[in-house]
Each structure stands twice: as C-alpha cells, then as structure tokens.
Structure 1
C-alpha cells in the first residue's frame, strides 16, 4: 500500500485526499484485503522524520502511521513498516525522470546519498520507530528503505554501508522484529551481493520483481507477452527472502495466468510476497489510476469494479491458504 506526503500545490485537495498522507486507505479496503485472504499489508509509507534539516519527528506523519498499523491489526492484517522517504530523500526520487512535468524538478531530493548527516538521521528515525513498535505483535517487520536507489544517483552508492548502520541502530532498541533489507537498484536482486546481512539477527532480503518489465508494465492493447519461464521468480542467494512488490497491469495479455504462475513460483520457494498495489478505496484516485487494480477487469477503459474479475480471483485462490493473523 504505497502512500506519500500530499502537496496541495500539485495534488489539489481531492486526488490524494486532504493529507497529510495520501491516498487515504479506507476501512473497507483493509477489510477487502482480509476477506480476499490477505494477511499482510506492506506499508510503503513516508518516513516519520522531516525531509529537511533540522531532522526531527513529524508528528502528523508518525500519528498517521500508528493509526494505520492499528487499523490493519483490527482487520486481521499484519503490517510491515517501510519508509519511502525521509531525511534528504523525497517521494520524487521515484519520478526522477519526470521533473518539470507534473511537478517541479526542484522537488526531487536525493541529497541523502551524499550527506553523512542525513544518513545518520535515517538511523535515528528508525530507532524512534523501533521504540514505538517493538512490542507490537501485529508488526511483522521493518523495511529499512523502499527501493533504495543510490546506485542511480551517485558513482559509489553508500547504501550497503548505510543499510548495515541502520540495522545495527535498530538492534540497539529492538532485537526481535525482523529487518527487511532491499538491495540497491530499486530493490533489484542483481545488487544482492553488495549487502552484508550477517550478525543482524532476523533479516529478510526484500526484492522487487516486475520482470519481464515490458510485459508487466505494458500499455493498453500491447502485444507484449511472457513465457512460463519468465513468469517464475529467480531466487536470490539469501536464505530468507521475500518479494516486497510484484504485479502486472490488469489489461496485460493473460494477466491472470501470469499471476497464477508467479504466485505458484513464490509459493514453491517458500517466499512471502506483496501485490502492487492493493486499492486504497479512495475513489478520486482510483477512477484515474487503476492499472494495477485487480478488481477492474481487463478493459483499459473500466473505471469501476467488475464482478468476478479473474485477476482478483487468482490472488484470492492463493491468499485463501493463509491461516495466521494478528
């Protein structure tokens, strides 16, 4: 469930909701995830510290996170807390090639990868988070950074060193909660070897897998397809790993079959996973941005749910095997 800070100057007051974080996630959306068999919400959330110095807790963001974790638990969902943004890393790093289109390029903040003070602040931010959630049985893990991308910003990314420093800082506060650590390159398994996860307690390598990209991100009426082999997830070397994001646009050729093969591949390898992205229930957004919404069916022009959507049925078929809940 990706969410970001709301900027009224570019977002208006309805598209992502009134803020401070959007899109709003409704109770109906959380209930729907549980009813369809899901037992985990991966909260891809803004970090609880301010993005600019002096780095300090942003209570509006922190309160939103705490409320969302509590609401997930109430609906029978574990939470993984993951931070998309934080000190000197803005949401717009995920749109770094789109500057001066729908937002000014000045909003792209990637100074984290060059500034030691900001890197230390990420460790402080995670210590604060661990203090708050270490005793919460509904928190299944901490994802230290969503899609680290220092590899795309600086010549020698500090992420491997930084990830270890954050992990050690968390372990000073919380020795039990699993740490989900993604490789550089936007959680690309090709960067796995750069990470050192030893001596950090319970750790899980968290990769994202949208391969084959031309197929999973295909445009309307694209001829892009997939093979049985390309639908499989190639396992990384780590003993414990999960796929923190995977998905396919609903109009892609044979999307339900692709989802079935991918789910089967991950199940056979004992890997947990999270679909990108479960609908939030905020209608103003979903009428416009619904390419990943499994309930809207195959028609690219659809603006509402259809009955018995095959892609959603495949997710439900596998998720219904879940038996453990908070």
Structure 2
C-alpha cells in the first residue's frame, strides 16, 4: 500500500463517511478523521472501519482545522492526502496513484487532480470550468492557506505535477441542505470580494510569500480579482450565460439547468446582493463593514 495518510474533516457526516473511508483505504495506508464533535454516528462508523479519530473544536475555518490536523496527528507516512467526507476517487485515479506515485522524483512534493461535481445525483460534465486542486503532498511540505473562501493547499518546498485522473464531489444531502450551505458560503464569498477592494483582512504576507501555490490556484485567484472589478449583478448574469450557453451546460437537461442556474447565477447573485447590502449600510468605511459583519453575520475579522 502507498505510504499515504488521508485526512478527512468531519461533522455529522454519517451519510458519507463509510463510502469515503472505504475509498481512502484503497490508496492509503492510514486514514485520520479530525472530527468537530459530531452528534450523529460519524465517529462510531469511522472507528469501526479502521480510521483513527481525533476531535478538535471547530473555529469556523477549514484551514485552521486542517492545519491543526497536520500539526497534531501522528502521521508517519511519506505523503498526505486531503479528502472531504463527501468526496471519493475514481477507479482510474486510484490505479494512477498506485502506478505513478512510487516513481516520482524527490523534487515533486505535490500532486494536482481534477475535481468533478455531482448534482442531483448526476455528474456535471457540460458547462463546467475545470477545477484542479492540489490534494496530495509530501508530509511536512505543505499547509492549507488561511482564507475565508477557496482556501488551497500550498507547498512550502518543491513543485507540483498533475495526474490525469479525477476525483468527485458527490454529496447525498437534499437540495435544501445545498441551498442553506451556499447561503452561508455567499456571506464568506462577499467578505472575500470586499477584501479584494478594501483589504481589511490582515494577511500573513511574510508567510504567504514563502508558499508555492499551484498554477491552477494562482489562475483562479487572478480570475477572482478580475471578477471582483466587474459590475455587481451583471457579472453573475454573464457568468451564467457563459456556462450554460457558450460552454453548453444546456446539454445536461434539467439537472444541468438547475446546477448552472443555482450555482452559476443564483449563488453569485446572492453574493452580490450581500456585497450591495454591506456597501449600502457602510459606504466605503472599513471599520463599519467589520462591525456590520460581526453584528449581523457573526463574522469577526
């Protein structure tokens, strides 16, 4: 078995955790859960399948939780894989890891994979922007950058390559759960877009400059900065048109329409609505923005 430890962050993931752990053990020597004190059967299922469970208080930040795991878990393998509870690797990618990983030279410290999405139990293949993510890295050679949204694994040394296979995000929760989740995401995304303009979140720039972000993550960050400069509301409409018509998302039927409408237009419009709300209440005053976010959204910057 590959010298890989897989880390999974969990809170009440009994719907997904068995599928995820069984999949992880097909390419990993060890599987660790960093659990935020689940109240369902997540921990019991994980332990019964041979996963090692640690619990740590959730601080409303994925990066903090994952980096806590990197620091505190008894990882003894050469490689570490970050996997979400509702994700799993395809057969092709598992075979590719088995065949390629042992022969990688030492200057390669990270591996990038494509992530594909299921929505309403259908794999979205049309109208998609390719999502490449660095998820596998040599032990002690990477951390998760601390951001409100779209945090990435960044290397502290070496360089990354990309494998051909992909893994999938296949959440089994109902649509209402998805909408509630994205409502919460919209607030965090609004904070990120406002921060691009007003720079009111302190970053550890000295630390960041020594980290090596994958080319895909850099490209995504650059595109987000361009997107942030576009007019409110129009940008979400244009984004939907691009995905649904120009990239032929309409070819995937009702599921395709709902995916691109909800994720590409509704969600992005909701983000803009929250940006508009904050600017309307606070103007360009960064202090007022921080106070507004803490008072109304329980976000302390």
TM-score (norm. length: structure 2): 0.28
Q: Which has the higher strand share?
A: 2
Determine which structure has the larger helix proportion and give its number.
Answer: 2
- So what's the TM-score if we normalise by structure 1? 0.26
